[in-house]
Chains A and B, each alone.
Chain A
Amino acid sequence: MEVTGLLAAAVAVSVFPGGLYLAVAASAAARGAGARRWPALTPAEIAGLVALTLAAALVPLPGAPGRLIPDPGGAEANLLALLMLTGVALGLGSAPRWGAWRSAAAAAAGLPLLALAAAGSTLSAPTVAGLPGARLGVARLLAALALVLVGPALTGAGSTDDTERWGVERAIPAAGLTALCALLAVAIGFPEGRGRLAGVGAAALAIVVAGLVGLGLRPRVRPWARRAGGAALLPALAAVGLALFGG
């Protein structure tokens, strides 16, 4: 990898769209969830947050420096790496129990992205986010909608009896995951090629979306958020159908 590529990767991981930016988005989600304190994290949760940060660095938001990294540099901005890292973050930093709603939410989050990748015959995250055409555009929007809906359900918050551990009091990893879903949703659904200002707008929109999605982590809203995560299968399957069979 050349020096500029290395620098871009470092900025992507530490500043935007990972690191500081993810922290801001996660704070918005945590505020939406009503979390008031930041308790100490377990080593597994810290490792999960590291994986989450690396995953966020691969999110193809407009203006992300990761998109400047030259192609032969490796697996950067790769959809598979992004999903795998998110899976690691889920495994390490979220509730251990996987019920039916949560599994449905996970399927609703991942399947449309993979179907879009198959439709574009690519694993490049920026290419998937910018797939052209009305049909694939609608599929991208449906995938984004599914991602917005699944955020709180995916974290498993409230899915276990151990509410002290996986409730709002432990909302930091959950907020991070929720924020990542919001970032991905904006990256997939936001139209491409509208210039730098649009990039800034997308980045701000992602934080707002993260805050709104974070509302789903509130104890009173959680049961509904869980069902919304399962219901996200509908737009997700529609996106899969459009991407794979719509042509």
Chain B
Amino acid sequence: MSPLALALVWVGAGALAAPALAGLPRRRRALAVAPLALGLLSLLAISEVVWPGPAASTGYGATLVLGRPGMGLLVVAGVALAVACVLAPAVEGGEVTAACVVGAAAVVMLSATVPAVWALASAVAVAAVAVRWIAAAPGRSTLAMGRVAGLGAAALLGAAIFLPAALGPVDARTRVAGALLAAGVGALLALVPLGGWAAAAASGVRGTDLALWTLLLAPAVLLSAGAALPVLPAATRDAFATDLLVLALVSGLYSGAQAVRAQPEARYGRLWIADLALAAAGLASLHETGRLGGMLLVLTHLIVGPLLLHAPRPGLERQRRLAWFALAGLPGAAAFWGRLLVLQGLAETSGVVLVIGLVSFAAITAAAIRALIAPDPPAPGRATGGPVRLLAWAVCLAALILGLAPAAIAERVFGLSFT
């Protein structure tokens, strides 16, 4: 199956899923089958071991080429979205349609070989998330998401226009292209000063809606930006990496501090933003260890996110605590390895960068440990059913296994060597 066909299947499934079950209000949780099936369907897509990335048009024309890491991400993200729907207190149906549209855009983003296609796919994904968020929870934060992230996608499109010219000698345009790329990626990854919308949405948007960004859009942006970096013209790459590194480091510090101070219900969202900033810093360090650490960190959140994105539910207290343990950053826990690799990438960059990374690391760890030792507030409602509790235990088990064998699992998922 070609990437284009896969994207069309994602869109088609989204168009069919919600209306098909609209008449069955008690069975809406069954919609979780859609992202699960689509994620697994990605295994059938033709993937390339060597991923050209979205800025490698030479030799590829404008064809879509799905890389092996992208395929792995789509599979895990599809499963994670399905688990998030099952573990959610309620599913409306509209979020699944939006997830399918974002998934289709993510397929194109992860397969694009032309910057303009990548940027347009980002814009479509942002539009789908924004429409869903605004429809589900109209407010300043969701409107800001549409505005800021939309501008980010527009900045990527602007960079795509400048990029062909950047192949020549260093001039003002190469710098502009790099800065636009950094601004676009920074806006989509909610880095400071462009990330206020995500912090507000973390406490104002329901878990299944937030999952569209945390489990699908943001990982796809991070992965595709990582693929774009090595093949960019040197001047653009340096400008992009430097600007992104500064944004990511400042964002890591700020979001880490915010995560420590956050209320329990918003803490996971804040922590995810801080970890995303750390992953972006690893990417921008231009060292392989940093990039791989970021991917491992994203994989950790893809596993625990479906459980922690939602408000606490009766019967899931122990599972949530175990998931927080996986994020606590203690040696042997899943998040430790990703953060460690990112810090090693930062250490290879410079001592000052490492110091800033270490402070962010300390703040993120403190936030996670605070969540680990402080019990969730009593959750209202009925106790969750046995199957849901079992699924939550499976999430915890997966996170613990990832902590014990991070390299082996990440290699299986992304097809890259982590040793």
Interface on A for B, CB 8 Å cutoff?
54, 72, 74-75, 78, 80-81, 84-85, 88, 114-115, 117-123, 244
With A114-B355, A244-B355 already in contact, the answer to whether A121 and B331 are too (CB < 8 A) is: no
Residues of B near A244 (CB, < 8 A) are 351, 355
Q: Are B331 and A123 in contact (CB under 8 A)?
A: no
Q: A114-B355, A120-B351 are in contact. Are A72 and B419 (CB under 8 A)?
A: yes
Kindly state the separation between the CA atoms of A122 and B352 in the bound complex, as whole angstroms: 11
Q: Which residue of A lies closest to B357 (CB)?
A: A118
Instruction: Let me know if A85 and B347 touch, CB within 8 A.
Output: no
| Known contacts A78-B340, A80-B340: A118-B352 contact under CB 8 Å | yes
Which residues of B (378-419) have their CB < 8 Å from a CB of A? 407, 419
A53: min CB distance to chain B, Å:
13
Nearest CB in chain A to that of B337: its residue? A75
List the B side residues contacting A84 at CB < 8 Å: 329-331, 336, 365
Separation of A72 and B336 alpha carbons in the complex (Å): 16
Q: Would you call B351 and A75 a contact (CB within 8 A)? A: no
| Total residues of chain B contacting the partner, CB 8 A | 21
Pair A75/B347 contact, Cβ less than 8 Å? no
0 or 1 for each of B313-350: is its CB under 8 Å from A? (1 = yes): 00000000000000001110000110010011001111
Docked pose: A65 CA to B351 CA in angstroms = 28
Q: Is the CB of A118 within 8 A of B336?
A: no
B351 proximity list for chain A (CB < 8 A): 117-121, 244
Name the CB-closest residue of A to B351: A118
Cα A80 to Cα B338 with chains together (Å): 13
Majority DSSP secondary structure for residues of A touching B: helix
Cβ contacts under 8 Å, A74 to chain B: 407
Is B358 part of the contact surface with A, judged by Cβ < 8 Å? yes
Q: Does B354 contact A (CB under 8 A)?
A: yes
Asked if B355 and A118 make an inter-chain contact with CB atoms under 8 angstroms apart, the answer reads yes
- For A91, give the chain B residue with the smallest CB separation: B369
Contacts of A75 in B (CB 8 A): 331, 336-337, 340
Chain A residues closer than 8 Å to B344, beta-carbon distance:
123
Tell me the bound Cα distance from A119 to B349 in angstroms.
12
| B331 & A122 in contact (Cβ 8 Å cutoff) | no
Inter-chain contacts of B330 with A (CB < 8 A): 84-85, 88
Complex Cα spacing A114 to B419, Å: 25
Structural contact, B331 and A54, CB atoms closer than 8 A: yes
Q: Which residues of A contact B365 (CB under 8 A)?
A: 84
Extra A-B contacts (11), CB below 8 Å, given A75-B340, A85-B331: A72-B419, A75-B331, A75-B336, A80-B361, A81-B340, A117-B351, A120-B351, A121-B350, A121-B351, A122-B347, A123-B347
Can you sample 9 A-B contacts with CB below 8 Å? A80-B343, A84-B331, A117-B347, A118-B355, A123-B344, A123-B347, A123-B354, A244-B351, A244-B355
Pick the 5 closest A-B CB pairs, nearest first.
A118-B351, A81-B331, A118-B355, A118-B354, A121-B351
Name A75's closest neighbour in chain B (CB-CB): B340
Contacting residues, chain A, for B331 (C-beta < 8 A): 54, 75, 81, 84-85
Q: Measured between C-beta atoms, what is the minimum distance from B410 to chain A in Å? A: 13
**Complex-state Cα separation, A123 to B351, whole angstroms:** 10
Shortest A202–chain B CB gap in Å is 25
Q: Which of chain A's residues have a CB closer than 8 A to the CB of B355?
A: 114-115, 118, 244
Q: How far is the CA of A64 from the CA of B197 in the complex (A)?
A: 50
Instruction: For the complex, give the distance between the alpha carbons of A115 and B419 in Å.
Output: 27
Interface centre among B330, B331, B343, B354, by most chain A C-beta atoms within 10 angstroms, is B331
In the complex, how many angstroms separate the beta carbon of B49 from the nearest chain A beta carbon? 21
Q: How far apart sit A115 and B358, CA to CA, in the bound complex (Å)?
A: 10
- Least CB distance from B344 to A in Å reads 6
Interface centre among B329, B347, B348 (most CB of A within 10 A): B347
CB distance from A176 to the nearest CB of B (A): 17
CA distance A80 to B337 in the complex (A): 11
